[in-house]
Amino acid sequence: MLRFFFLCIALLFSTYMNDHDTVFAEQKQTLFVKHHVKGNNVFVECIVDQFTFTKGTHPKKSGQGRIHIYVNGKRVSETTTAAFVIRGLPVGKHTIRLELVHNDASKYHVSHEFTVTIP
């Protein structure tokens, strides 16, 4: 009977820990993006859940970092602000990808891609 009691306690503890891990895993960063084209500039606003933008060099810490900006597959810049402008795009269609990265530039594997047309 005592062995059964300890087995039940171990099972409950295991279930609690698995639920706790699942909740933690669901707190992954998400990236929401709004953009607006004006002339040859693209105005971008980002919302990143549970995230702090950091400037300078810092050790890798979950929930901190910056955004790498790619235009047509080529990295053109990075930003440490949630709102920014991509300036001076030439006439035509462009694919813009925003990628969330840690302070040490390792990837969160969170990105957003959109296409704009500069008239």
Query: pLDDT tens, 43-100?
Result: 999 999 889 999 987 889 999 999 999 999 999 999 999 999 999 999 999 999 999 9
Q: What is the pLDDT of residue 111?
A: 95
85's tokens: 């402008």
Beta bridge partners of 64: 52
CATH class of the domain comprising 27-116: mainly beta
Secondary structure in 3-state letters for the chain = CHHHHHHHHHHHHHHHHHHHHHHHHCCCCCEEEEEEEECCEEEEEEEECCCEECCCCCCCCCCEEEEEEEECCEEEEEECCCEEEECCCCCEEEEEEEEEECCCCCEEEEEEEEEEEEC
Q: What is the pLDDT of residue 11?
A: 46
**Structural domain spans, the chain:** 27-116
Query: pLDDT tens, 19-42?
Result: 443 333 334 778 999 999 999 999
Q: What is the pLDDT of residue 81?
A: 97
User: For residues 92 and 1, which has the higher predicted lDDT (pLDDT)?
Assistant: 92
pTM, full prediction: 0.75
Q: What is the pLDDT of residue 29?
A: 76
